[in-house]
């Protein structure tokens, strides 16, 4: 994005248009039907992969588009705006693809990136633990040396899409040989590895992607399962978490756009007492407010992506947190107001809004809660004392 005129490059504008057409081809009816039946969105995922949309942020030499996270975020936003929010885009090409492309060995890149780019292989991300949440300093999943190899043990919770994945990028800890203290490290764990088990967590969200608890019981891994340097995992970890927040914001932005469009269309079409209900300020003003908040959140998301793609990890961290917060809030408001505008029809299946009431709430919780974002802004942006 050009900082002076706030317009996106022509290539991204064209990308958005092409992805929007793909999303329209499938639409929310397809997405919801698949989710309600317990099925995946395989057809959409495969076509997006064949067209090169899933790997636009990955290096060209490994089958990607050679662009940045801003372009991948645009893809997710447009699909979500068409009613098809693909949650696994947040974890497979954005987090895992980014971490491997930045810190993986040549062999790891050759093995994983082409499949992640074309959608034929999926890798998901596991950081959250039952007692630690996303606090990487409290993670207890531990990797111990076994000669030149590793043995990994621990538990993870609320891990998306494990049943669809070929491997999981697990955040664990290793023991410092000098101090004995544990330090974070990242490992690629195949989902068919002996000792690796997962169990689905029943959720009230209607979504094709399911949530799982992971159980790692002395999972033996080769030496090359370690991603990057053993001593630099914190930097490597946050190289993936910034894109996660940017993509999470784009996920929410797309849903907000979808809900707002539905609300506006209904307000124009539905007539009461001889006039469209949109003529009443009680409906028009809330929809207008959401449009304003949506555009502001989108600008912050684009700023975060631009900073990240320029190599400013710290600046991107602040903006990505703010973008994720703002997008989640406007998405909740957009869905709520769209339902309210529809009245009773807002919860009828044919109008495509009811399933979003619970799904959109996820943006306030994951990948980081709104309270932790406020803690970050208070401490790092405002210079207030640390509160936790």
Domain CATH number, residue 80: 1.10.540.10
Q: What's the pLDDT score for residue 236?
A: 80
Q: How far is it, in rounded angstroms, from Cα 368 to Cα 248?
A: 10
Q: What's the pLDDT score for residue 175?
A: 72
Mean pLDDT of 135-159: 90
Structural domain ending residue among the three candidates 70, 100, 122 = 122
Pair (19, 145) in one structural domain: no
Q: How far is it, in rounded angstroms, from Cα 377 to Cα 371?
A: 10
Are 167 and 123 in contact by the 8 Å Cβ rule? The answer is yes
Contacts (Cβ under 8 Å, ≥6 apart) of 203 = 210, 211
Pair (116, 147) in one structural domain: no
Are 142 and 187 in contact by the 8 Å Cβ rule? The answer is no
Give CB contacts under 8 A, 24+ apart, made by 230-233. Answer: 230/174, 230/183, 230/185, 231/183, 232/103, 233/171, 233/183, 233/184, 233/185, 233/186
Pair (18, 137) in one structural domain: no
Pair (72, 109) in one structural domain: yes
Pair (194, 249) in one structural domain: no
Q: What's the pLDDT score for residue 263?
A: 98
Pair (149, 264) in one structural domain: no
Q: How far is it, in rounded angstroms, from Cα 281 to Cα 96?
A: 46
Q: What's the pLDDT score for residue 232?
A: 60
Q: What's the pLDDT score for residue 182?
A: 63
Contacts (Cβ under 8 Å, ≥6 apart) of 279 = none
The closest alpha carbon to 97, from 112, 87, 85, 86, belongs to 112
Q: What's the pLDDT score for residue 165?
A: 98
Pair (142, 101) in one structural domain: no
DSSP E strands in the chain: the ranges are: 123-126, 142-146, 149-160, 167-175, 182-190, 196-201, 211-221, 226-227, 271-272, 275-276
Pair (298, 351) in one structural domain: yes
Are 227 and 167 in contact by the 8 Å Cβ rule? The answer is no
Mean pLDDT of 128-157: 87
- Measured N-to-C along each axis, helices 281-309 and 313-342 cross at an angle, to the nearest 10 degrees, of 160
Reported as a single tens digit per residue, the pLDDT across 96-122 is 999 999 999 999 999 999 999 999 999
Contacts (Cβ under 8 Å, ≥6 apart) of 303 = 1, 319, 323
- For the chain, what is the mean pLDDT? 93
Residue range of the domain that includes 326: 234-381
Q: What are phi and psi of 204, to 5 degrees?
A: -90, 5
pLDDT at residue 385 above 70? yes
Reported as a single tens digit per residue, the pLDDT across 246-289 is 999 999 999 999 999 999 999 999 999 999 999 999 999 999 99
Q: How far is it, in rounded angstroms, from Cα 353 to Cα 259?
A: 7
Mean pLDDT of 330-358: 96
Sign of the four-CA dihedral 65, 70, 73, 77:
negative
pTM of the model: 0.95
Are 169 and 96 in contact by the 8 Å Cβ rule? The answer is yes
Domain CATH number, residue 192: 2.40.110.10
Encoded tokens for 279: 């003529």
Reported as a single tens digit per residue, the pLDDT across 152-206 is 999 999 999 999 999 999 999 887 655 556 678 899 999 999 999 999 999 999 9
Pair (369, 248) in one structural domain: yes
Number of structural domains found in the chain: 3
Q: How far is it, in rounded angstroms, from Cα 286 to Cα 132?
A: 39
pLDDT at residue 313 above 90? no
Pair (373, 299) in one structural domain: yes
Whether residue 1 is contained in a domain is answered as: no
The closest alpha carbon to 305, from 11, 69, 72, 98, belongs to 69
């Amino acid at each position: 994005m050009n900082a002076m005129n706030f317009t996106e490059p022509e290539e991204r504008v064209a990308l958005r248009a092409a992805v929007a057409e793909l999303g329209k081809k499938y639409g929310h009816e397809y997405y919801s039907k698949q989710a309600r039946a317990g099925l995946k969105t395989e057809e959409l995922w495969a076509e997006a992969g064949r067209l090169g949309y899933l790997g636009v942020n990955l290096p060209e030499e490994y089958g990607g588009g050679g662009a940045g996270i801003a372009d991948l975020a645009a893809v997710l936003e447009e699909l979500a705006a068409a009613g098809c929010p693909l949650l696994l885009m947040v974890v497979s090409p954005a987090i895992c693809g980014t971490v491997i492309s930045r810190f993986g060995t040549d062999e790891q890149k050759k093995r994983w990136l082409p499949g992640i780019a074309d959608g034929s292989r999926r890798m998901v991300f596991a950081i959250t633990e039952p007692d630690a949440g996303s606090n990487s300093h409290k993670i207890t999943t531990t990797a111990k040396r076994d000669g030149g190899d590793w043995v990994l043990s621990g538990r993870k919770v609320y891990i998306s899409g494990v049943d669809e994945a070929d491997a999981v990028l697990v955040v664990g800890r290793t023991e410092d040989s000098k101090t004995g203290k544990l330090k974070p490290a990242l490992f690629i764990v195949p989902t068919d590895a002996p000792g690796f088990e997962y169990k689905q967590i029943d959720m009230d969200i209607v979504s094709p992607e399911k949530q799982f608890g992971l159980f790692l019981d002395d999972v033996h891994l080769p030496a090359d399962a370690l991603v990057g340097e053993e001593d630099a995992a914190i930097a490597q970890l946050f190289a993936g978490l910034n894109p996660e927040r940017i993509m999470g914001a784009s996920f929410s932005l797309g849903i907000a756009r979808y809900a707002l469009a539905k609300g506006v269309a209904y307000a124009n079409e539905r007539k009461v007492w001889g006039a469209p209900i949109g003529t009443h300020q009680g409906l028009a003003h809330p929809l207008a407010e959401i449009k304003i908040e949506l555009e502001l959140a989108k600008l912050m998301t684009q700023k975060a992506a631009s900073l990240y793609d320029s190599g400013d990890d710290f600046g991107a961290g602040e903006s990505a947190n703010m973008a994720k917060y703002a997008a989640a809030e406007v998405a909740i408001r957009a869905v709520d107001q769209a339902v309210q505008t529809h009245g009773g029809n807002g919860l009828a299946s044919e109008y495509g809004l009811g399933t979003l009431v619970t799904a959109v709430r996820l943006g306030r919780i994951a990948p980081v809660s709104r309270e932790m974002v406020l803690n970050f802004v208070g401490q790092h942006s405002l210079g207030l004392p640390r509160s936790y």
